[in-house]
A and B are shown apart, each in its own frame.
Chain A
Amino acid sequence: MNTPFLSVRDLRVAFSTEDGVVRAVDGLSFDLAQGSTLGIVGESGSGKSVTSMAILGLHDREHTDVDGEILLDGKDLLTATERELERLRGNTMSMIFQDALASLSPFHTVGRQIGETYRKHTGASRHEARARSVEMLRRVGIPQPDLRVDDYPHQFSGGMRQRAMIAMALVCDPQLLIADEPTTALDVTVQAQIMDLLKDLQQEFGTAIVFITHDLGVIANIADDVLVMYGGRCVERGTRNQVLRTPQHPYTWGLLGSMPSLDGPVDVPLSPIPGLPPSLLNPPSGCRFHPRCAFAEKVHGGLCATDSPPLEINGGGRGTACHLTAEQRRDFFVDYATPQPN
């Protein structure tokens, strides 16, 4: 692996709220190489989006404590000034959001919003920016881009809005793209088109992508590496095949078990993870997953409730944070993954 383009080290993000301190991200580390895709998976409130906001420096600085290190091409973003960050945002690193209708300004034309980013970072004229907007709209597959460039977001369909958002994010050829649930609000066919578009554009520009989602199907489609988050921590990571084929953490088993399988027997019921995501205001002691974990009692000495399992990384960045022994995991996973027809 060449030197990572984005390197996050021991990231900790805490908000002070009226009720206390919320540790939304608690010691997260990962690397991302140029041109590759990291999928971050987790439930709502697992710290996925907070991580992306911290990378862009868009968290509310007054109520948020951010610790650790975020290196973008060797530059620490957490010590960068606001001006330096403004120069990077939209230019070297950019972001696409989940709800394209709410995330695009209703008051400005699509073309103006795309061109605005371009003008800010290249100093292009209004005319050049418009030409660039048309070109970007064409590239993301908007029909008749020279006409649609003057439309407002509410005149676009859902899929077209997300394409326009991608055009806006890529207008300055960024080297890092953070996609926060970009396909969640779209129907499945459009979802597939957007994924294909992102993959094509990534090939063309060599962009590194952080792809945040709760959808393992989407991860299987796009990610090179996968990081599973739970309660603000990484519980498991590895390549796509490692995490999806031979998952090591009971939480990942649970995520996979909650998904219908197309090639398995149809009468196997889904097995959702019982319980609710943990409160980050007052997180469970020890392993944050233990109150919902079916295997916690199998761990000797009730360790799960008292000690937080470290993320053990072995070769190639594969890692799991669980007290179960490797042997136990192998046995339990075989039991867990074997379909039990009813």
Chain B
Amino acid sequence: MFRFLVRRTLGALLILLIISALTFVLFYVAPRDPARAACGKLCTPQTLALVRHNLGISDPLPVQYWHWLVGVFAGRDYTGLGHCPAPCLGYSFTNHEPVLGLITDRFPTTLSLSIGSAVVFVVFGVGTGMIAAVKQGKALDKIASSASLVGSSLQIYIVGVVAMYYLSDEWHLLPRPQDSAGFTQDPSAWFKGLLLPWLVLALIFTANYTRMTRSQLVETLSEDYVRTARAKGLSRRTVFFRFAWRGAMGPIVTILGLDIGYLLGGAIITEETFGLHGIGALSIKAVRDNDLPLLLGVVLTAAAAIVVANIVVDAVYALIDPRIRLA
């Protein structure tokens, strides 16, 4: 397991390196000049050149990338802004705040949003999927299956807006979503501010987990080893959880890991819909402002979330299924 983790971590670093380089290149392919935006309305060629120098974008591309990389691993000095200790992701072009600080500032919102909704959709999705699998072909199964089909066709920018309008503004059932100081500062405000986004996100994701849990369980329940377990005299319940569920878990954990990784990377549309200020909102800002350091920061955060989620999924999968361990 240790060797596996080392190998995967090295692989992950390589992936992040490639992604950062690609982002760099793509940023300069776009025919917009970030210096012009930073320069403001009264921009003379002289000030533009100065801004360009200060932003560090007058150097050739590979040199810039090298400086950025060195900054990440060893820290970097900026004229006028001072030393930025490693891991340094640079300073935002637009407001000269350290990118790392911006990201760590926003990350708790995204983390709360993702993990909170994941708890809701896993509990409901897997729960209804299990019931549907046990009651195969009965009314309950049919209701769960068709409801999940409807659920998976919903879009957050419609459901979210409709839910906010009716549930918060019209009927006052749930508080309007808002940023909070964080779980540790004020748990009650944190919970109230995120409840509606959790439920709406869960509504959309639950469907997928219901369908997946159901189909996986239907498959494993017909496996030979489940029959053997029954032939040994084990009860239906024991066989269901110890054998069938164990077999169904792998694919569910895989998708769950990827979904959480995706959500952690910034649920852009979700955050925009609910007016929350997490990584997703930050990425929109970075793109709008042509802010390369910030853009690199959020892209790497998203990529790291997905890469880490993948490693965790693989490790968990190996715990579930011994056949993976030795391969």
A residues lining the B interface (CB < 8 Å): 56, 58, 82, 86-91, 94-95, 97, 99, 102-107, 116-117, 120-121, 152, 154-155, 165, 168
Most chain B beta-carbon contacts within 10 A, residue among A102, A107, A120:
A107
Contacts of B228 in A (CB 8 A): 95, 97, 103-105, 165
Taken together as a complex, chains A and B put the C-alpha atoms of A34 and B82 apart, in Å, by 92
In the bound complex, do residue A107 and residue B247 qualify as a contact, i.e. CB atoms below 8 Å apart? yes
CB < 8 Å neighbour of A116 from B224, B232, B326: B232
CB<8 Å pairs between A and B, sample of 22: A58-B231, A89-B231, A89-B233, A91-B233, A95-B228, A97-B224, A97-B231, A102-B224, A103-B224, A103-B225, A103-B227, A103-B228, A105-B225, A105-B228, A105-B229, A105-B246, A106-B247, A106-B322, A107-B321, A107-B322, A116-B232, A152-B322
Say whether chain B's binding surface is mostly helix, strand, loop, or mixed: helix
Taken together as a complex, chains A and B put the C-alpha atoms of A116 and B228 apart, in Å, by 12
CB < 8 Å neighbour of A86 from B233, B320, B323: B233
The 10 closest A-B pairs by CB, nearest first: A90-B233, A89-B233, A90-B232, A102-B224, A103-B224, A105-B225, A117-B232, A103-B228, A95-B231, A152-B322
In the bound complex, do residue B223 and residue A117 qualify as a contact, i.e. CB atoms below 8 Å apart? no
Size of B's binding interface in residues, CB under 8 A: 21
| Given known A97-B227, A152-B322, contact A117–B246 (CB-CB < 8 A) | no
Taken together as a complex, chains A and B put the C-alpha atoms of A103 and B243 apart, in Å, by 11
Q: How far is the CB of A93 from chain B (nearest CB, A)?
A: 9
Taken together as a complex, chains A and B put the C-alpha atoms of A122 and B153 apart, in Å, by 52
Taken together as a complex, chains A and B put the C-alpha atoms of A155 and B246 apart, in Å, by 19
Asked if B234 is at the interface (CB within 8 A of a chain A CB), the reply is yes
Contacts of B233 in A (CB 8 A): 86-91, 117, 120-121
Q: How far is the CB of A51 from chain B (nearest CB, A)?
A: 14
CB < 8 Å neighbour of A106 from B229, B234, B323: B323
Taken together as a complex, chains A and B put the C-alpha atoms of A114 and B10 apart, in Å, by 41
Residues of B196-232 at the interface with A, using a CB-CB cut-off of 8 Å, are: 223-225, 227-232
CB < 8 Å neighbour of A99 from B224, B229, B326: B224
Contacts of A117 in B (CB 8 A): 232-233
Chain A's closest residue to B234 (CB) is A120
Asked if B235 is at the interface (CB within 8 A of a chain A CB), the reply is yes
CB < 8 Å neighbour of A102 from B225, B322, B323: B225
Residues of B230-250 at the interface with A, using a CB-CB cut-off of 8 Å, are: 230-236, 243, 246-247
Additional 11 contacts, C-beta under 8 A, given A120-B233, A154-B322: A58-B227, A82-B236, A90-B234, A97-B224, A99-B224, A103-B228, A106-B321, A107-B246, A116-B232, A152-B323, A154-B323
Q: How far is the CB of A148 from chain B (nearest CB, A)?
A: 14
Contacts of B326 in A (CB 8 A): 155
Q: How far is the CB of A64 from chain B (nearest CB, A)?
A: 14
Taken together as a complex, chains A and B put the C-alpha atoms of A89 and B322 apart, in Å, by 28
Taken together as a complex, chains A and B put the C-alpha atoms of A155 and B247 apart, in Å, by 18
Taken together as a complex, chains A and B put the C-alpha atoms of A168 and B225 apart, in Å, by 13
Chain B's closest residue to A109 (CB) is B322
| Given known A106-B321, A106-B323, A154-B323, contact A89–B232 (CB-CB < 8 A) | yes
In the bound complex, do residue B230 and residue A58 qualify as a contact, i.e. CB atoms below 8 Å apart? yes
Contacts of A82 in B (CB 8 A): 236
Chain A's closest residue to B325 (CB) is A152
Chain A's closest residue to B243 (CB) is A105
Contacts of B230 in A (CB 8 A): 58, 89
Taken together as a complex, chains A and B put the C-alpha atoms of A103 and B223 apart, in Å, by 8
Contacts of B320 in A (CB 8 A): 107
Contacts of A58 in B (CB 8 A): 227, 230-231
Taken together as a complex, chains A and B put the C-alpha atoms of A88 and B230 apart, in Å, by 11
Taken together as a complex, chains A and B put the C-alpha atoms of A102 and B220 apart, in Å, by 11
Chain B's closest residue to A178 (CB) is B231
Contacts of B232 in A (CB 8 A): 89-90, 94, 116-117, 120, 168
